[in-house]
Amino acid sequence: MTTFKNLGLDPELLSALEKLGFEKPTPVQEKAIPALLESDNDLVALAQTGTGKTAAFGLPLLQKLEFSGFTEALVLAPTRELCMQITRDLETFAAFKPELKIVAVYGGASIRDQISLLKRGAQVVVATPGRLIDLLERKAVHLDQLRVLVLDEADEMLNMGFQEDIDTILSKSPADRQSCLFSATMPPEVRRIAQRYMRNPAEISLAANTTNENIEHHYYVVKEKNRYEAVKRILDVEPDVYGILFAQTRSLCQDLAEKLIHDGYNADSLHGDLSQAQRDKVMGRFRKKTLNVLVATDVAARGIDVSDITHVINYSLPNELEVYTHRSGRTARAGKKGIAISIIASRDISKIQRLEKMTRSKFTQMQVPAGDDVVRAKFAHFVDELAAEEPDQASIHAYLSIFYAKMKTITREELIEKLASLELRKFIEYYEGAGDINEGADRRSRDYGSEGSGHYQKFFLSVGELDGLDKKNILRWLNDCGLGKVEFGKIRIHRTHTFLEAETDSTELVMNTISKEKINDRKVRIEIQGMESDGSPRKKKNSYGGGGGDYGKQGKSHFKKDKKKSFRR
Ligand code: ADP
Ligand code: MG
């Protein structure tokens, strides 16, 4: 086992760590501490929030101080809170180095007070970039003797627009300093900083930050006012959701949970306005899975370590995109699969690209299910449950006579109709005329695309797993439809719909053919995925075939013709 002592830390720091109760180094500490102690080489370290990065740079930084009387170390951090937190942490680590002086400087506080503190001398300055520039201009800080410079949460600093300030600060500090960059992610801007200002940096990247292949990332583009409706429909087609719905604020959390409960969902909220006892109770129910949907704020959900979570739903994207990784990391734990869903407005589409880079994963744009898709999914689930039900003869026998007496004359078909109606009526009524709430947003070809070569056209089909389609039979079905000669690219079959790529030259043929098809008596709707050059969605113009509510209409029924081809399970 690696200990802090093995890493080469001095006795004063070790005593402080012991007092703090840090027993062994975290992975990023294990790597960064010796690297920084043993050489003056630059270092880039990528590790998620909460992995102990402060001590990873803080301990070596403190050990390397020479108490020369100048400012020897500078830590840049994005926010005032972080500056204060880092300062507190460093002071704790330096509990047995009484001669150390650390000064935190940040905006929103008196610059005079900060100047007078700086005047008394500080070996370590912890600063936000903007305030530091201010102080440099007033010559209240001097960086010419700087030996160690740390950029903490570099990605966040760049997100917040500190690029120029950082450039200025870096160009004003001595060329032979040691620079360390700590970040949760490595977007191109961070890499640019590393390339421009760091000399051949060693790189540490922790496994926690690598792609979790088991998470599927989906997003739905809707209008602001349709967010809630989108969440409901998504929950409705996924009957076995065990998930967390993340909301930005406590009050939104509360509102959403109340609405969901009112609408019959098994949901509850977890946020900071609740008492500890209330929070424990909610968490207890969630852990026992008597609660399906936990509506939570980021802060409240921090540290939640529940396995088996199937879905993480972002009611909106977090303000700080880095948070997305923490949210989605709640699912797909311990080798299990999970889906991270984001409900976004069209103005947020550019953020998806950033998220793709950050998570090194592909994000798939999904279509919010249409009303009839939801009803169908509900019904399929109901039928599955009905089929799986194993009645306990002994216990229900006594009551069955009432049933038989009332239902004496009823036929099997009538009974089934009644059952279906009873179960589905409220959904059918609710979803009657429920429109398409998908925002006709930028359906970038790369969403479903094969290299965006233009070779393939992507299509949306209103049939999916629930209709019996699967990877094996879909090509056979396409062949049976008369599309045997068409070259198909990627095919993704979802519960209620399918995305299909077919060679662009065959677009018309595919549209015309499939729009005449029926599966299990239901007309297949096919739409082209893509944009017109003016940026408007192409959907309407190119939508062929039956939309919702086409049940039982006349038409060519593929599956009626030949029983063998039926996908009905
Ligand atoms: P990061 O900067 O990576 O987000 P922090 O440095 O803020 O993480 O550390 C997160 C938490 O973990 C802090 O509460 C810190 O005190 C604690 N911590 C850090 N290193 C250790 C360790 N080796 N053992 C126990 N706790 C630690
Ligand atoms: Mg940190």
Looking at the CA of residue 4, tell me the nearest atom of ligand 1. Answer: 23
Instruction: For residue 164, give Cα distances in angstroms to 155, 159, 161, 169, 280.
Output: 14, 12, 8, 9, 45
> How large is the average pLDDT for residues 19-26?
91
Asked whether the beta carbons of 105 and 126 are under 8 A apart, the reply is yes
Burial class of 174 by CB neighbour count within 10 A (0 to 12, 13 to 18, 19+)? exposed
The pLDDT of residue 305 is 61
Q: What is the CA(182)–ligand 2 centre distance, in A? A: 8
Superfamily of chain region 4-205: P-loop containing nucleotide triphosphate hydrolases (3.40.50.300)
The pLDDT of residue 207 is 53
Instruction: Write out the two tokens for 79.
Output: 């926010």
Q: What is the CA(49)–ligand 2 centre distance, in A? A: 6
Q: Which residues line ligand 1 (CB under 6 A)?
A: 22, 25-26, 29, 47, 49-55
Helix (H), strand (E) at residue 436: none
Task: Kindly report the protein residue whose alpha carbon is nearest to atom 9 of ligand 1.
Answer: 52
What is the Cα 187 distance to its own chain's centre? 16
* CATH T-level assignment (fold) for domain 456-561: Alpha-Beta Plaits (3.30.70)
pLDDT: is 554 or 62 the higher one? Answer: 62
Instruction: For residue 105, give Cα distances in angstroms to 112, 124, 372, 407, 428.
Output: 11, 11, 58, 80, 61
Strands 338-344, 202-205: pairing kind: unpaired
Q: Which ligand is nearest to the CA of 79?
A: 2
Buried b (16+ CB within 10 A) or exposed e, 191-209: eebbeebbeebbebebebb
Instruction: Look at residue 208 and tell me whether its pLDDT is greater than 60.
Output: no
> How large is the average pLDDT for residues 396-408?
86
Q: Which of 54, 86, 151, when mutated, tests ligand 1's pocket best, judged by the most ligand atoms within 8 Å of its CB?
A: 54
Give the residue range(s) of CATH 3.30.70.330 domains in the chain.
Answer: 456-561
Q: Which of 9, 13, 51, 182, when mutated, tests ligand 1's pocket best, judged by the most ligand atoms within 8 Å of its CB?
A: 51
Q: Which residues make Cβ contacts (< 8 Å) with residue 269, sequence separation at least 6? A: 253, 254, 256, 257, 258, 282, 294, 295, 296
Strands 456-461, 311-314: pairing kind: unpaired
Residue-averaged pLDDT of the chain:
84
Q: Which of 14, 23, 26, when mutated, tests ligand 1's pocket best, judged by the most ligand atoms within 8 Å of its CB?
A: 26
Task: Kindly report the protein residue whose alpha carbon is nearest to atom 18 of ligand 1.
Answer: 52
Give the residue range(s) of CATH 3.40.50.300 domains in the chain.
Answer: 4-205, 215-368
Q: What is the CA(538)–ligand 1 centre distance, in A? A: 50
Asked whether the beta carbons of 282 and 294 are under 8 A apart, the reply is yes
Q: Of the segments 194-203, 220-229, 330-339, 493-502, which one has the largest average pLDDT value? A: 220-229
pLDDT tens-digit readout, 426-472: 888 888 777 788 886 334 333 333 333 467 888 899 899 888 999 88
> How large is the average pLDDT for residues 256-263?
94
Q: What is the chain's length?
A: 569
* CATH T-level assignment (fold) for domain 215-368: Rossmann fold (3.40.50)
pLDDT tens-digit readout, 275-330: 878 888 998 899 899 999 999 998 777 646 677 899 999 999 998 877 898 888 88
Q: Which ligand is nearest to the CA of 27?
A: 1
pLDDT tens-digit readout, 73-128: 999 998 777 898 899 999 999 999 999 999 999 987 899 999 999 999 999 999 99
pLDDT band at 552 (very low <50, low <70, confident <90, very high): very low
> How large is the average pLDDT for residues 30-48?
92
Instruction: Write out the two tokens for 410.
Output: 């009823």
Asked whether the beta carbons of 486 and 510 are under 8 A apart, the reply is yes
Rounded CA gap, 61 and 42, in Å?
13
Q: Which ligand is nearest to the CA of 303?
A: 1
pTM of the model: 0.48
pLDDT: is 452 or 182 the higher one? Answer: 182
Q: Helix H segments across 39-162?
A: 53-64, 80-93, 111-119, 129-137, 154-159
Q: Which residues surround ligand 2, an ion (CB under 5 A)?
A: 53
pLDDT: is 194 or 530 the higher one? Answer: 194
Q: What is the CA(82)–ligand 2 centre distance, in A? A: 8
What is the Cα 480 distance to its own chain's centre? 39
The pLDDT of residue 489 is 84
Q: What is the CA(33)–ligand 1 centre distance, in A? A: 14
